[in-house]
A = this chain, B = another copy of it.
Amino acid sequence: MSRKLHLPIPARKALKKLGKDIRDARLRRRIGTELMAERAGFSRITLNKIEQGDSGVSVGGYVSALFVLGMLDRLKDIADARHDLIGLMLEEERLPKRIRAPKAEK
């Protein structure tokens, strides 16, 4: 986001929790911020932002942190179709490749 993205409250909360969980996981493993940042390939400051749930940090940073902690697995299923209840209800046929607006009523 170049222009600061105004994130809805629940989204911001989810990020905060994620950051805190990442921090706790690091502490459980007794890894210092310096070492952790080095392994993940970014600076201590960026790690700090991640652990605070900063929404501006690139997704690569978060993913890299999760990778270092060995917690990448669950990420893959976040938006997996199997868990998309809303989507399953809507799906009636094969997915289109484009969304076309229905012809306006005369």
Contacts and interface: CB of A to CB of B under 8 A. Distances in A.
Contacts of A5: 41-42, 58, 60-61, 64
Interface residues of A, number: 62
Interface string A72-106: 10111111110110110011000111110100000
26 contacts: A1-B57, A5-B60, A5-B61, A6-B41, A7-B41, A7-B60, A11-B63, A14-B72, A15-B60, A17-B76, A18-B78, A24-B95, A25-B79, A25-B81, A27-B99, A30-B90, A55-B58, A55-B59, A55-B60, A56-B59, A57-B59, A59-B59, A71-B78, A71-B84, A74-B77, A74-B83
- Copies of this subunit: 2
Given A18-B79, A42-B1, A83-B74, A8 B55 contact: no
